[in-house]
Amino acid sequence: MPEGPEIRRAADRIERAVAGRPTTRIEFAFPHLARFQRRLTGDVVASVETRGKAMLTHFAGGLSVYTHNLLYGRWYVMQAGRLPKTRRSLRFAIHNEAHSALLYSASEIDVLPTSAVDEHPFLAKLGPDALAPGLTDGALSRHLAAPRFARRPLHTLLLDQAFVAGIGNYLRSEILFVAGIHPHERPGELTGRRRLRLARAIRRVTHRSYRTGGITNDERRAAKLKAQGVRRRDYRHHVFERGGKPCFGCGAKIRRETAGGRKLFVCPGCQPAPVR
């Protein structure tokens, strides 16, 4: 599933193609949304916002389209009138004179007044977005200290969108590695200094992935390895998908585990298990 950085990059492409221009046609595949097709045609896309893995296409006329890709949804940006070669089914399309932004296969699509976006049942439950421009390490660290999170292990919490929005499976492993925190640790057991380190890693790793198009490894190290001819999958991450290989930092053999039914990668040298 795409994670926050991939969704934000898709939103950037869509925004470049459709923001600030009047639409020439809007399509919704779901019958209950068909009535909005005419209403949004001719309207101007004001902006494309992301909240975690959800996307909001805001129209100047006061409506917003909520979409969530879940596992299968995929956006394409094409020249106006062109369709991608795909066997997926089209669910939502924004066309203007120059471009078409097309969403395939997604099942979560809603139209709602922009003023009511915060009350949307999925959005209302989200924690702070790791990519939110106004978010600081200090504010995020205070959020992580909330009593409701104190006793839950971080391997579970980091995938809970109510904890922090936008983190998925590869970011979970990478954030914990960069913070030097073992996945079985709990926020209530962290000192203030380590909690701040976790907050900083959440923001830094997610922003780096957004900026680089999915690289979470140290950028200088990744560039050096790339120049040596190393394949992208072998320099992209610190630990994710590197089970059995040596840690770039300490040389210890990276361990592959399963947590919450999903794979998790840990460096036993850089992320020692908690002593209880």
Give me the residues that bind Zn ion (CB under 5 A), please. 247, 249-250, 252, 267, 269-270
Q: Which of 125, 246, 262, 272 is catalytic?
A: 262
Active site residue 53: yes
Rank residues 153 and 269 by Cβ distance to Zn ion and give the closer one: 269
- In the set 8, 51, 53, 236, the catalytic residue is 53
Task: Quote the least distance from Cβ 254 to Zn ion, whole Å.
Answer: 8
Q: Give the nearest distance from C-beta 268 to Zn ion in angstroms.
A: 8
Judged by beta carbon, residue 63 or residue 247, the one nearer Zn ion is: 247
Q: How far is the CB of 246 from Zn ion (least distance, A)?
A: 8
* CB nearer to Zn ion: pick between 134 and 251: 251
- Least distance to Zn ion from the beta carbon of 173, Å? 13
Q: Catalytic site residue 15?
A: no
Q: Which of 3, 15, 174, 185 is catalytic?
A: 3
CA dihedral (177, 180, 183, 187) positive or negative: negative
Quote the CA–CA distance of 144 and 194 in Å, as a whole number. 11
Q: Closest CB to Zn ion among 116 and 250?
A: 250
Q: Using alpha carbons, select from 251, 138, 272 the residue that is nearest to residue 192.
A: 138
Residues tagged active-site: 2-3, 53, 262
